[in-house]
A and B are shown apart, each in its own frame.
Chain A
């Protein structure tokens, strides 16, 4: 069953705005944590577009995989960054050492700036080169923005200039999970199994890569164990007194 045309256009407009504005916010906000949340909004918008295109299984998969899995990883990785909340960047902007474009200000609104020289170890005055070394952007930020705008203009121009696609006026099968499952287990078996193998290799690779480079020396461990057995640390007595006797309840007395 399809929605009425007006409802379809309305849903498309809302979801497309969520997707694009989320991605734009992700790109421009100073706070990395906000970037993750904006990215989630963008994923939700794209999932809604999938559902509007009647690919309901993919919409669900998008929400489960990207938002349930990858976003957790992203927010975990944000913990490693120097300035996850963007306070340093906003503080630098307030002190005039760095310029922010208007859209970056819009998406960074409400981030409280840091105190400045206190957080920088009391050095106070910093050279301009050091300042740009602390920025979260590469030096080619302007060129990247121009390149991205050119790419967008080129792609949209190509899309609009091309003659119409051979669009088919037909509804897809309602049972799309069944169809996809049949294809995955039949025609695309090799791709399915290959993806499974790839996931396994990916798990192995990431465990191998991120394991600690050096383990402590086992002989040292034995020596420490012997030292602890010889002279165990005193155990602190528990200060909470155990309840020895319970008051008999009223109904038990009766």
Chain B
């Protein structure tokens, strides 16, 4: 039996999620917003793996979910980099609140 309680992992994950939320909302640079989203995805992965280990250690489906999440994170990062480079070339800025041409 693992000595650390499940709630300890969930609390760490909740803290990571909150920090990621703050970064994604408060920072203006596209890179930092992506970093916040990566932190949120990391928190989700930690949650899933903790639940797998404590509640259902015989079924490895939880880890498959975590692998899919890592894959999605990688794709999101690559597409985000592409979009950011395009917008930088068009607007000469990386600050996300300058990209407001779709505002009504």
Contact = CB atoms under 8 A, between A and B. Distances in A.
B72 to A, nearest CB: 8
A238 to B, nearest CB: 39
A183 B64 contact: yes
A77 B87 CA distance: 12
A12 B2 CA distance: 11
A187 B32 CA distance: 37
Interface string B32-67: 101110110010011001111111111011011011
B16 to A, nearest CB: 5
Q: Is the interface of A mostly helix, strand, loop or mixed?
A: helix
Contacts of B68: 191, 195
Contacts of A207: 82
Contacts of B56: 168
Contacts of B72: 195, 198
Contacts of B90: 213
Interface residues of A, number: 90
A108 interface: no
Given A55-B53, A57-B63, A138-B27, A172 B4 contact: no
Interface in A55-97: 55, 57-58, 61-62, 65-66, 69-70, 73-74, 76-78, 80-82
A138 B64 contact: no
Contacts of B16: 19-20, 23, 42, 46
Contact of A26 (B23, B25, B52, B97): B23
A12 B11 CA distance: 12
Contacts of A80: 31, 84-85, 88, 94
Interface in B1-23: 1-4, 6-12, 14-23
Q: Is the interface of B mostly helix, strand, loop or mixed?
A: helix
A198 B75 contact: yes
A8 B78 contact: no
Given A53-B53, A58-B49, A202-B79, A176 B60 contact: yes
Q: Which 9 pairs across A and B sit closest by C-beta, in order of nearness?
A: A206-B82, A5-B3, A152-B18, A148-B22, A144-B25, A202-B75, A155-B14, A210-B82, A209-B82
Interface of B: 1-4, 6-12, 14-23, 25-32, 34-36, 38-39, 42, 45-46, 49-58, 60-61, 63-64, 66-68, 70-75, 77-79, 81-86, 88-90, 93-94, 97
14 contacts: A9-B3, A19-B12, A20-B12, A46-B45, A53-B53, A55-B66, A66-B42, A73-B77, A140-B26, A149-B18, A165-B6, A167-B55, A172-B58, A205-B79
Given A32-B29, A66-B38, 7 more contacts: A8-B4, A16-B8, A27-B19, A42-B16, A50-B46, A74-B31, A147-B25
